[in-house]
Amino acid sequence: MGLTMRERKALTNEVAARYRGEPKKKGKQAILDEFCLTTGYHRKYALVLLNNWGKKQIRLIEGTLVELVVGEARKRKKPSRERVYDERVQQPLRKIWELFDYQCGKRLVVLMRANMGVLKAEPEFDIDEGTAAKLCSISAATVDRLLMPERVKLQIKGRSHTKHGPLLKHQIPVRTHFSWDERLCGFFELDTVHHEGGNASGEYCVTLTATDVFSGWTELRALRNRAHRWVHESVVDIRAQLPFALKGVDSDNGAEFINKTLLDYCNTTGVTFTRGRPYRKNDNCFVEQKNDIAVRHTVGYYRFDTDAEYEALREVYTHLCPLLNYFYASAKIVEKIRTAHRVKKVYEAPKPPYQRMLDSPLVAEEVKDELRRRASQLHIVKQKRLVDQAIVKLLRIHKDKNQPRRPSPGSSTTTSGKNS
């Protein structure tokens, strides 16, 4: 590997003075031979370079006489173009990014373009017409670049508490390939997130996550524990609250799913019930990513094990689900291109699940009308405020639970001293 250009210039700077100061012709030849061998320069070019290095020369450039010094770095002109996305744009961009859960640029630009009218009406963002136009035209890459100094990445690995189900699992077929029609909504993947705070002993709250494969529609339900009863009741509630029909569910092999209660319910209602292969978490990839984005990023890794925390967790999910389904965009893979040992993944443009269902020709019009009716009752900023207030309430209850109780003024006990 040869020298870099910076190393060649440094070497030329040292050799030029020695070359010009050498009085003998044979000495100059030796220096020139060594210099050409080291740098790889042509002999004639090296000869001119060493003889003129550091000397001033006059050159005519674009009709103007300019004095140059051979070997001196040229000063580059600073770009005179004004910044398009100046502080006037960056300030509301940062506020929007912070309010809506620090989303990536690809998802944030979709949210801003779809809800700019609502965001512009909020005085806290201070968005005028010019700024609104720039925020609607800004690219995802520019958003990521502008927000890079503010972005702090915290990666915390979760814990798995999946236990094998009973022998009943042999009655539930294993999904070895994706046989569902991905163009149809209503096929959900199920999983649970445990809020044990690093201590798996005793009972603690659990979150049931259900994600629609086609649209990314996500439903979250708080459970008191991993009992079959709570999982069954949550699936019944999800089926009743969905604006479209629940056609199938797919879970891992955990005992909270592989039980007679849930199996009988699915058989009775005509819901297809399948399970993934053991030790293959990627079989439930759609719901696994929601465990992190929707649950862990919202309520963290604390231990919730009291009735007050359970009720507060339910309130968080009540306000969070509409925000995720109607306003937060998500990307969906549409194709995998395999070339030799490399796989290229192609994603469609990020969309909220609500918009993805409206754009689908396979979704019934009555379902779309119901979606539009529910969306008309929501306000993105107010909904996010409700989520934040519920999270603050949950964390306050958790903090108060861990605070040591102070004894009341009249309950302190005194010890009598010994009589002297």
Which residue intervals of 60-215 are DSSP H helices?
87-99, 105-114, 116-121, 129-137, 140-147
Residue 161 falls within a domain, yes or no? no
- Lowest mean pLDDT across 100-114, 160-174, 193-207, 246-260: 160-174
Residue 155's CB is within 10 A of a number of other CB atoms, namely 4
- In angstroms, the CA 368 to CA 271 distance is 22
138/206 same-domain check? no
pLDDT tens column, 357-407: 999 998 999 999 999 999 999 999 999 999 999 999 999 999 998 777 666
Residue 407 falls within a domain, yes or no? no
10/54 same-domain check? yes
Residues whose CB falls within 8 Å of the CB of residue 400, separated by 6 or more in sequence, listed in order = none
194/333 same-domain check? yes
- In angstroms, the CA 362 to CA 360 distance is 5
317/269 same-domain check? yes
Residue 174 falls within a domain, yes or no? yes
Residue 91 falls within a domain, yes or no? yes
**Residue 110 pLDDT > 70, yes or no?**
yes
- In angstroms, the CA 138 to CA 420 distance is 85
- In angstroms, the CA 113 to CA 171 distance is 48
Residue 190 to residues 85, 141, 253, Cα–Cα distance (Å):
42, 33, 11
Residue 155 falls within a domain, yes or no? no
34/133 same-domain check? no
369/256 same-domain check? yes
134/237 same-domain check? no
210/62 same-domain check? no
119/191 same-domain check? no
Residue 345 falls within a domain, yes or no? yes
Q: What is the CATH classification number for the domain harbouring 298?
A: 3.30.420.10
| CA dihedral sign of residues 379, 385, 386, 387 | positive
Domain that holds residue 201: 167-402
113/255 same-domain check? no
- In angstroms, the CA 323 to CA 387 distance is 9
- In angstroms, the CA 400 to CA 397 distance is 5
Residue 276 to residues 184, 212, 293, Cα–Cα distance (Å):
20, 16, 22
Residue 151's pLDDT is what? Answer: 77
Residue 364's CB is within 10 A of a number of other CB atoms, namely 12
pLDDT tens column, 213-262: 889 999 999 999 988 889 999 999 999 999 999 999 988 888 888 888 88
143/246 same-domain check? no
Q: How many domains does one find in the chain?
A: 3
Which range, 206-210, 284-288, 345-349, is most confident?
A: 206-210
**Residue 283 pLDDT > 50, yes or no?**
yes
Is there a contact between 138 and 85 (Cβ–Cβ < 8 Å)? yes
Tokens of 239: 């089926």
Residue 339 falls within a domain, yes or no? yes
Which among 280, 285, 271 has a CA at the least distance from the CA of 236?
A: 271
Residue 140's CB is within 10 A of a number of other CB atoms, namely 15
Residue 243 falls within a domain, yes or no? yes
**Which residue, 124, 150, 176, sits at the end of a domain?**
150
225/371 same-domain check? yes
Compute the 3-state secondary structure of the chain and give helix, strand, coil in percent, each to the nearest 5: 50, 15, 40
